[in-house]
Every structure is written in C-alpha cells, then in structure tokens.
C-alpha cells in the first residue's frame, strides 16, 4: 500500500499526526512518531525571521526539502508550494515538477480553494499528488490573522471549497483556524481526511510547527501548546560547554588527538 492510501485509510479510524521539518536532524526524529512530515513555508518565520511566508523562495523550499528527505524512512513527505509559484496552470506544473524531481517528496500543498482549482487539476492530471489548505491562508491574508467560519458567507465558502478540492482529487485538506462547528461539519461531510491547525479535535488529524511545540519559539498563538521547554535544556548544555572551556576542563585527553 502506498503512503497516500495509508493516509486515506485513516479516515474515521485513527488520527493523523503531522509535523513540520526543515532539516535532516529534525526529520529523522519526527519520522519515528508521525504519519506526515510537512516542509512548511513557515520556515520563513522560524528560520529566517521573515514577517510573512510570501518572502519564501522556491530555492529555499527545495534546499530544505532535500535535507528533510534524508531523514525520512516511513512518513509521507509533503512540501509547501511557496507564494507566487502557482499563479497559473503553467507555472504551477513547472514548479511542482521541479519540487518533486529535486526533493523526491511524495506530494505538494497549495493554499486556497476555487481560486487555485485549475492549478490543482493540472497537477493531479499529471500525477502530482496534492494536499489542499483552506481557512486561514498565510500566503494571501491581509492584515491580522483571524479565524474563519464566523459568517454564513465564510461558512458557505469553506464548505464549497472543501467539496471542490475533494471532487478534483486532493488526498487531504489542512483546515487552518476554522471555527470548531464548521471544522466538524466539513470533516463529517468529506470522505478524505482533514488535518487541523487551530481547528479543534474534530479534524481527522493535527499539524503543528515542530519548533512551536518544543518551545523553541516564543509563540503566543492560541492553537500552540508547548509540550516541552527545549530552550531550557539547550541553555543548560551551552552554559556547561562555555564554563568547561573557560576553566580548561574541556577538552581532556579523551577528546583530543
């Protein structure tokens, strides 16, 4: 059974676990515990201090994805298509082919519903698996990030987009910051899995930025839970190293040639 079929078969059976990775060091650890490794364009803010994911380039995504791939043995690997790389059917196909060829990933993710459906159709027609993404869309949002599904117009658009994406062959859909009742409704209506981020326990799976859950970012986003404060352990090791160098305890003969 291929990796995508495994994800599809989890619908209504077991929760899907998805986390981000931007390098081999992280992906080889994450791979042990997750079903999907996402090379997210969130690397823009996490690694490069960009104020928006719009600044992330195709080259950056490909380079990080190559590293991530080295650490993956079992998980499905999905790569975000960065902003402005899928504006047209032609550019979407050209750039997605480049991503698949150079990174050896299993699928790509595009943000949006009806607005990008022609691009999604051409990718799937050319046997490039696609993960959808609706709700809050970081690449195109204007102003402050807000949850989606508050008005009847938003609710209708979310449901219509979800059904349209499913109809045209995406294998899963990320629901970002979608109000709980709507996320539940969409998940129930679809035959493909939904993966939530800030969209309640009712989704078929969950995704988080790994650096957020490890406490490496000083994030105060509502949907982020810090499962461990890794900064504390990092500081402890760094402090010990600096102290031993200054007191000439390191390196000893054991650590010298």
Structural domain boundaries enclosing 197: 3-226
Instruction: Based on the residue annotation, tell me whether 244 is a catalytic residue of this protein.
Output: no
Q: Does residue 130 sit in the same domain as residue 84?
A: yes
Q: Do 211 and 123 share a structural domain?
A: yes
Residue 120: pLDDT above 80? Answer: yes
Note whether 64 and 15 are same-domain residues: yes
For residue 192 the two structure tokens come to 């493909």
Are residues 200 and 80 part of one domain?
A: yes
Active-site residue, selected from the candidate residues 29, 60, 102, 176: 176
- Do both 218 and 239 map to the same domain? no
Residues 6+ apart with CB under 8 A from 30: 19, 21, 37, 71, 75, 210
Let me know whether 52 and 172 are in one domain: yes
Instruction: Confirm if 195 and 175 have CB atoms less than 8 A apart.
Output: yes
In angstroms, the CA 174 to CA 199 distance is: 9
Question: pLDDT tens digit string along 187-214?
Answer: 999 999 999 999 999 999 999 999 999 9
167 and 190 belong to one structural domain? yes
Residue 29 CA to residue 24 CA, distance in Å, equals: 9
Q: Is the pLDDT of residue 219 over 80?
A: no
Q: Is the pTM of this model over 0.85?
A: yes
Q: Are residues 245 and 183 in the same domain?
A: no
Residues 161 and 236 in one domain: no
Domain CATH for 159: 3.20.20.60
Regarding whether 246 and 207 lie in a shared domain, the answer is: no
Give the helix/strand (H/E) hosting 130.
strand 130-135
pLDDT tens-digit profile of 181-193? 999 999 999 999 9
Closest CA to 223 of 178, 192, 188: 178
Report the pLDDT value the prediction gives residue 1, as an integer from 0 to 100: 54
In the chain, the number of structural domains is 2
| Same domain? 212 vs 152 | yes
Does position 142 have pLDDT exceeding 90, yes or no?
no
By C-alpha distance, which of 154, 76, 170 is closest to 116?
Answer: 170
Q: For residues 136 and 222, what is the distance between their CA atoms, to the nearest angstrom?
A: 14
Verify that 126 and 161 share a domain, yes or no: yes
Residue 131 CA to residue 242 CA, distance in Å, equals 45
Q: What is the mean pLDDT of the chain?
A: 96
């Amino acid at each position: 059974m291929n990796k995508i079929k495994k994800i599809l078969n989890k619908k209504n059976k077991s929760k899907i676990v998805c986390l981000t990775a931007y390098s081999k060091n992280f992906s080889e650890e994450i791979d042990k515990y997750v079903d999907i490794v996402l090379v997210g364009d969130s690397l823009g803010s996490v690694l490069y201090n960009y104020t928006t994911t719009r600044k992330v380039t195709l080259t950056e995504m490909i380079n990080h994805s190559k590293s991530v791939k080295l650490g993956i043995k079992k998980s499905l690997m999905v790569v975000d298509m960065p902003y402005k790389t899928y504006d047209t059917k032609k550019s979407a196909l050209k750039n997605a082919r480049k991503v698949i060829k150079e990174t050896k990933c299993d699928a790509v993710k595009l943000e949006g519903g009806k607005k990008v459906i022609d691009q999604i159709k051409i990718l799937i027609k050319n046997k490039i698996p696609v993960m959808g993404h609706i709700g809050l869309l970081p690449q195109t949002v204007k102003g402050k990030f807000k949850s989606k599904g508050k008005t009847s117009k938003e609710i209708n658009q979310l449901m219509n987009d979800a059904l349209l994406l499913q109809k045209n062959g995406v294998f899963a859909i990320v629901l970002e910051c979608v109000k709980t009742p709507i996320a539940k409704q969409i998940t129930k209506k679809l035959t493909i899995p939904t993966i939530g981020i800030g969209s309640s326990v009712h989704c078929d799976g969950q995704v988080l930025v790994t650096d957020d859950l490890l406490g490496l970012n000083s994030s105060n986003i509502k949907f982020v839970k810090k499962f461990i404060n890794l900064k504390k352990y990092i500081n402890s090791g760094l402090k010990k190293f600096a102290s031993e160098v200054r007191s000439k305890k390191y390196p000893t003969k054991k650590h010298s040639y």
